[in-house]
Amino acid sequence: MMTLTERKLLIVDDDEPLLGRLARVMERKGFTVTMASGLADARTKIKADRFSHAILDLKLEDGSGLDIVQMLHDHQADCRVVILTGFGNIATAVAAVKAGAIDYLPKPADPDAIVAALLQKGETMPPPPEDPMSADRVRWEHIQRVYEQCGRNVSETARRLKLHRRTLQRILAKHAPRP
């Protein structure tokens, strides 16, 4: 049986570098972290252990984070779940909350915002971050993520972002804006 002070966290994301970075940050924030790289891996870990908290990617290579929300709540009803996604829209946010997630955050999410969402009590919103990312930085991070997802193909990335290819090349050549 888990104690009230024990914070066992399941993180599920198919982006291995992000998964590792997020796990290290959450361990520093006081969580005992278990990582899973997809739906099947998460299912195995949920059957083997109980979690007080979870951070789930919405779109996984082998399924949806929404399916994992249901698995977690079937196994432990009071598990607090936050959904992260790089493909945010209102419909999926509503679906995540209806499935039982307590919050829905766009990638890249600030680790302090994730912790605040996981630990919030009641229906109140967590306080705003002390030092949020600038709009330019959020835009740059989003463009970099799409660029990586397109296999670093500038033409495909430009098409998906609805940017001119040369404009995208100029953005990619610049250094990241300050947070």
Note the pLDDT tens digit of each residue in 20-63: 888 999 999 999 999 999 889 999 999 999 999 999 988 888 88
Question: Residue 90 corresponds to which tokens in the numbers above?
Answer: 């209102």
Q: Of 69, 67, 70, 56, which Cα lies nearest the Cα of 15? A: 56
Please indicate, yes or no, whether residues 59 and 34 belong to a single structural domain of this protein: yes
3-class SS letters over 84-124: EECCCCHHHHHHHHHHCCCEEEECCCCHHHHHHHHHCCCCC
- The answer to whether residues 93 and 140 belong to one domain is no
In a shared domain, residues 46 and 94: yes
62 and 35 fall within a common domain: yes
Largest CA distance in the chain: 57
Residue 64 resides in a domain = yes
Same domain, 34 and 83: yes
User: Does residue 143 lie within any of the structural domains?
Assistant: yes
Residue 136 or 88, more confident: 136
Residue 129 in any domain: the answer is no
Shared domain check, 12 and 85? yes
pLDDT digits (tens, 9 = 90+) for 127-154: 666 667 677 877 877 888 788 888 889 9
Q: 10 Å Cβ neighbour count for 80?
A: 20
Element counts in the chain: helices (H) and strands (E): 8, 7
Structural domain includes residue 148? yes
- One domain for residues 103 and 162: no
Cis preceding linkage at 132, omega within 30: no
85 and 19 within one domain: yes
Q: Is 125 within the bounds of a domain? A: no
CB atoms within 10 A of CB 157: 24
Residue 153 sits in the same domain as residue 95: no
What is the total count of domains within the chain?
2
Answer yes or no: is 179 within a domain. Answer: no
Q: Domain check: are 115 and 141 in the same one? A: no
> With 70 as the cut, is the pLDDT of residue 1 above it?
no
More confident residue, 121 or 65: 65
**Predicted pLDDT at 149:** 83
pLDDT at position 166 is 94
Long-range contacts of residues 17-21, Cβ cutoff 8 Å, at least 24 apart: 18/107
* Domain hosting residue 144, numbered range: 135-173
Statement to judge: residues 22 and 83 lie in one domain: yes
